[in-house]
């Protein structure tokens, strides 16, 4: 087996290791720390045909079961979560059972939430197979499902016992999904790592060609940045909120378009440009930051314009319901400069609307989108 790179998420007493490498799914040694009980692999109907048998082979000798979800954000629901709980009860899983999430962020979030709730918390492992899940959602312990009125409104913090990243899974990832994952990668550079941002600007062509060395470096740097934040603020009572750069706008775009028009990363890409534009408009950062961010996101094949088919009013309503909103207003993450973000509660609805309108492709239609 190829030697994996390790990143430690220092969350005592819940610290865990992220293993990054090629063919890690097939390595039985990475599964030697499973609890003694039954194993339930939660995957989806796209990923399971590709990787489920390989994981089951690595788990040979264990009492192993699988539960297959329908792929996609529209299926990140309470009913999907309940299906996992039903399966655990059906196989008579006990507190010493193990859940393994094999798939993207949706599978990981639902599986983790089931692990958090079943018998008040059982062990679970993340095997993320999309770029977005590998660099973001598999690390940090955020689990949950969506509500028709808002994204991730129902959930819990429940840290994985281990994260196993097999970079070869990116070989089968559709290009749109790969691009969507790049939004979360760019986020780390924008909020806290100007050096990484510079590397991305110079290496974006190699990254988009999925060069193995470039991908390993990209994933490791992303997780190292996230691990620093999570270790400092596990449950988002402070600094961890900066990881939501672009997300309040992005979640609103997703909700208003019924999770059907954009992938999560695509919506976050647009949201980051709006947030950077708002930062410039309020003179919180220098001019040019938004353009710099927009250029890199476009080089990654991501959308950067707010769609004209959703109104500012609808977006603002969704933002007010977002789980990141606070009693004193909409909480946004804005930029002081590239690589330096902060939490802001003082942007007015009027200022936010101006930034939204500035990010519409056809600004001539903005008068129609304000109400």
| 67 tagged catalytic | no
Q: Which of 76, 217, 247, 294 is catalytic?
A: 247
Q: Which of 240, 254, 280, 312 is catalytic?
A: 240
| 217 tagged catalytic | no
**Phi and psi at residue 64, to the nearest 5°:** -115, 140
| 336 tagged catalytic | no
Q: Which of 19, 38, 75, 142 is catalytic?
A: 142
Supply 115's token pair.
């692990």
Burial of 120 (0-12, 13-18, 19+ CB in 10 A): exposed
Q: Which of 73, 184, 254, 280 is catalytic?
A: 184
Coil, helix or strand at residue 39:
strand
Rounded CA gap, 91 and 126, in Å? 21
| 120 tagged catalytic | yes
Q: Which of 244, 254, 266, 331 is catalytic?
A: 244
Supply 190's token pair.
């924008």
| 351 tagged catalytic | no
| 264 tagged catalytic | yes
Q: Which of 251, 280, 294, 357 is catalytic?
A: 251
| 14 tagged catalytic | no
Contact 210, 178 (CB under 8 A): yes
Rounded CA gap, 205 and 300, in Å? 8
SS3 annotation, 278-308: HHHHCCCCCCCHHHHHHHHHHHCCCCCCECC
Q: Which of 19, 38, 151, 264 is catalytic?
A: 264
Antiparallel, parallel or unpaired: β 340-344 and 332-337 = antiparallel
Q: Which of 236, 254, 266, 280 is catalytic?
A: 236
Catalytic positions are 120, 142, 184, 226, 236, 240, 244, 247, 251, 264
């Amino acid at each position: 087996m190829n030697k994996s790179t390790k990143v430690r998420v220092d969350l005592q007493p819940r610290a865990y290791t992220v293993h990054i490498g090629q063919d890690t799914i097939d390595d039985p040694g990475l599964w030697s720390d499973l609890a003694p009980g039954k194993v339930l692999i939660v995957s989806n109907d796209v990923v399971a045909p590709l990787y489920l048998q390989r994981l089951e082979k690595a788990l040979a000798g264990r009492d192993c079961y699988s539960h297959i979800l329908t792929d996609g954000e529209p299926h990140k629901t309470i009913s999907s979560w309940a299906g996992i709980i039903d399966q655990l009860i059906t196989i008579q899983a006990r507190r010493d059972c193990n859940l393994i999430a094999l798939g993207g962020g949706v599978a990981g979030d639902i599986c983790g939430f089931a692990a958090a709730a079943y018998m008040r918390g059982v062990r679970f492992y993340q095997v993320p197979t999309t770029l977005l899940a590998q660099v973001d959602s598999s690390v940090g312990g955020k689990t949950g499902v969506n509500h028709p009125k808002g994204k991730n409104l129902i959930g819990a913090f429940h840290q994985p016992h281990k994260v196993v990243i097999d970079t070869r899974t990116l070989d089968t990832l559709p290009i749109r999904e790969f691009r969507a994952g790049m939004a979360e990668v760019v986020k780390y550079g924008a909020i806290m790592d100007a050096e990484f941002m510079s590397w991305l600007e110079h290496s974006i062509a190699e990254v988009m060609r999925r060069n193995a060395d470039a991908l390993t470096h990209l994933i490791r740097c992303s997780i190292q940045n996230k691990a620093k934040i999570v270790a400092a603020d596990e449950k988002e009572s402070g600094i961890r909120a900066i990881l939501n750069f672009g997300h309040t706008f992005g979640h609103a775009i997703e909700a208003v378009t019924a999770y059907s028009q954009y992938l999560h990363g695509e919506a976050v890409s647009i949201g980051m440009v709006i947030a950077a534009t708002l930062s410039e408009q309020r003179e919180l950062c220098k001019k040019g930051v938004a353009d710099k961010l927009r250029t890199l996101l476009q080089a990654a094949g991501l959308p950067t314009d707010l769609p004209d088919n959703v109104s500012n009013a609808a977006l603002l309503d969704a933002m007010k319901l977002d789980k990141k909103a606070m009693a004193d207003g909409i909480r946004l993450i804005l930029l002081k400069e590239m690589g330096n973000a902060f939490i802001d509660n003082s942007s007015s609805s009027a200022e936010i609307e101006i930034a939204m309108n500035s990010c519409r492709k056809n600004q001539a239609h903005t008068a129609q989108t304000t109400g």
